[in-house]
Chain A
């Protein structure tokens, strides 16, 4: 998303200085997706395409209600359908709107090597600033939810912006606006958490004993949350991670290795320089040349 406000950043990728952050007196926002109220109409997908001017290539039918089959550079949100056999012998049709979760601790931003290609606004939205993106694919490795997609055309990474352009001017995201059942709600994170609590209580009263809010603490919570009727097993919802967190490999790569590597290279350079100014060059002495000449001469003498 091209960015109109650059003074409300709380995080900026590959930046060692504090980003412009004076305009940060605002509440964090959240989108709440109530899976139990979703009817799978895909109005959210259509609204996302319309607002963001995205048109993916027409795909092929592969025997699934999922359409298209996966997220893509121009598919930022996607209904994922699962037929789940409940052990109590009932078949449940689970529908989850997939897309960027806008983590409080974003793995994509942590992994990104390009300064300012990924930013987090004070309201919690994680946004890709495409003009700074170098197309390396590190965000894909950083993300615990398998969300970013690199375009093979322009080699930039894309994902849901949480309609940061709409939110910046006080509008709700396009998918929220289009949802006919109120399954997608938008507001402050506090309000959405409170509203989710009411929904969870209601679901519990209707027999869904394990209903709950999905706001995974492993990534510091998210700014897109789910109400799940089976919050004890998120993975049944088309592979929603049970306990998402930034991979330890990414943590090591983007954490300890960076200073250790710089220190290692600096020490090697300083060490060699100290050797140069203390011990100095190893020079060939005139005696070396004399002895070498003697060896050659005597060898030639032997052979003649």
Chain B
């Protein structure tokens, strides 16, 4: 994989494929799930070839998402561990949202907002999967009581709404912070982007002479031919 000269690698091809697999599954799940959640949105089931297809496809897509999100978790969990400066960053969130990052703490590969999205999904995805299994009638309805399934379907809906709201924030943040989308689409960002938004991460790459995404990835940084 080649990246334009002088850029920093934000996400490897594997990470990007993994991310967009998850994203595709998530969008399909939101569309088919909302169709079954609210009568005003039932028309969305037409995108899947009708209500019966939407209902049949939804849990299978969910299984793919679980595996896919597990891949993201393995790649990202360590860099999403909370630290002291996250609290400081969150305390100054009002300045962050106004594009005035002067005086906010330097951020590692992920900021506190991204960590909240990551851990929020890391909690919600397994809960959605497990509650979803309980209400996947054709295979699992006989294993639990109807009373249990009622609780499961309510929890499934609550968690889905929470996940959708997190997702809206996640998508908007990628639009808002210019250059982020290219980072996940094509895998690279400019050094200025890394300096502005993830300075601690940038410094760690420079110190290691790595072009990213992690200090251990390579030793190409600053070499004439990259």
Give the complex CA separation of A288 and B191 in angstroms: 8
If A272-B169, A276-B176 touch, whether A155 touches B39 (CB-CB below 8 Å) is no
Question: In the complex, which residues 247-304 of chain A have their Cβ closer than 8 Å to any Cβ of chain B?
Answer: 247, 249-250, 252-253, 257-258, 261-262, 264-265, 268-269, 272, 275-276, 279-286, 288-293, 295-297, 299-300, 303
Provide 14 A-B residue pairs closer than 8 Å at the C-beta atoms, listed in order of the A residue: A113-B51, A115-B39, A132-B51, A134-B51, A138-B36, A141-B149, A155-B52, A268-B165, A275-B172, A281-B178, A284-B190, A288-B196, A299-B209, A303-B209
Beyond A150-B137, A155-B56, A257-B158, 6 extra complex contacts between A and B, CB < 8 Å: A14-B39, A141-B150, A279-B98, A283-B178, A284-B193, A303-B209
A150-B191 contact in complex given A114-B42, A141-B146, A285-B196, C-beta closer than 8 Å = no
- Please measure, in the bound complex, the distance between the C-alpha atom of A62 and the C-alpha atom of B37, giving whole angstroms: 40
Chain B residues close to A by CB (< 8 Å): 35-40, 42, 45, 50-52, 54-56, 97-99, 135, 137-138, 141, 146-147, 149-151, 153-154, 157-158, 161, 164-165, 168-169, 172, 175-179, 190-197, 202-203, 206-207, 209, 221-222
Q: Are A284 and B178 in contact (CB under 8 A)?
A: yes
Residues of chain B lying within 8 A (CB to CB) of residue A86 = none
Q: How many angstroms from the CA of A257 to the CA of B164 in the assembled complex?
A: 14
Q: How far is the CA of A258 from the CA of B160 in the complex (A)?
A: 12
Q: B150 to A249, Cβ gap below 8 A? A: yes
Give the interface of A toward B (CB within 8 A): 14-16, 113-115, 132-138, 140-141, 146, 150, 152, 155, 247, 249-250, 252-253, 257-258, 261-262, 264-265, 268-269, 272, 275-276, 279-286, 288-293, 295-297, 299-300, 303
How distant is A255 from chain B, measured CB to nearest CB, in Å? 11
The answer to whether A264 and B196 touch across the interface, beta carbons within 8 angstroms, is: no
Contact A265-B137, Cβ < 8 Å, known A134-B52, A292-B195: no
Query: How far, in whole Å, are A141 and B221 apart by their CA atoms in the complex?
Result: 59
Docked Cα-Cα span, A141 to B156, in Å, equals: 14
Contacting pair B175 A282 (CB below 8 A) = no
**Which of A250, A261, A292 is in CB contact (< 8 Å) with B37?**
A261
B168 touches A265 (CB 8 A): yes
B contacts with A: majority SS: helix
Contact B157 A253 (CB under 8 A): yes
Q: Is the CB of B179 within 8 A of A284?
A: yes
Are A299 and B222 closer than 8 Å at their CB atoms? Answer: yes
Cβ contact within 8 Å between A137 and B52: no
Contacts of A146 in B (CB 8 A): 146
Chain A hits for B42, CB < 8 A: 14, 113-115
For the complex, what is the distance from the CA of A134 to the CA of B172, rounded to whole Å?
34
Partner of A249, one of B151, B165, B192, B193: B151
Bound Cα distance A290, B193 (Å): 11
* A261 vs B54: C-alpha distance when bound (angstroms): 20
Contact: B37 with A282, CB < 8 Å? no
- What 6 A-B pairs come out closest when comparing CB atoms? A289-B192, A292-B191, A134-B51, A137-B137, A288-B192, A272-B172
CA distance A108 to B97 in the complex (A): 46
* Complex Cα–Cα for A265 and B135 (A): 24
- Complex contact A136–B55 (CB within 8 A): yes
Q: Tell me the bound Cα distance from A59 to B149 in angstroms.
A: 27
CB of B192 within 8 A of CB of A285, answer: yes
Identify which of B138, B178, B195 gathers the most chain A CB atoms within 10 Å of its CB: B195
A276 to B151, CA, bound (A): 38
Bound together, the chains give a CA A248 to CA B209 distance in angstroms of: 60
Q: Name the A residues within 8 Å of B40 (CB-CB).
A: 16, 262
Distance (whole angstroms) from the CB of A193 to the closest CB of chain B: 30
**A15 with B165, Cβ < 8 A, contacts A289-B192, A292-B202, A299-B207 known:** no
Q: Contacts A137-B137, A284-B193 given; indicate if A295 touches B203 (C-beta within 8 A).
A: yes
Decide if B164 touches A135 in the complex (CB within 8 Å).
no
Instruction: Find out whether the CB atom of B55 lies under 8 angstroms from the CB atom of A134.
Output: yes
The CA of A292 and the CA of B37, in the complex, are separated in Å by 48
Nearest B-chain residue to A272, judged by Cβ: B172
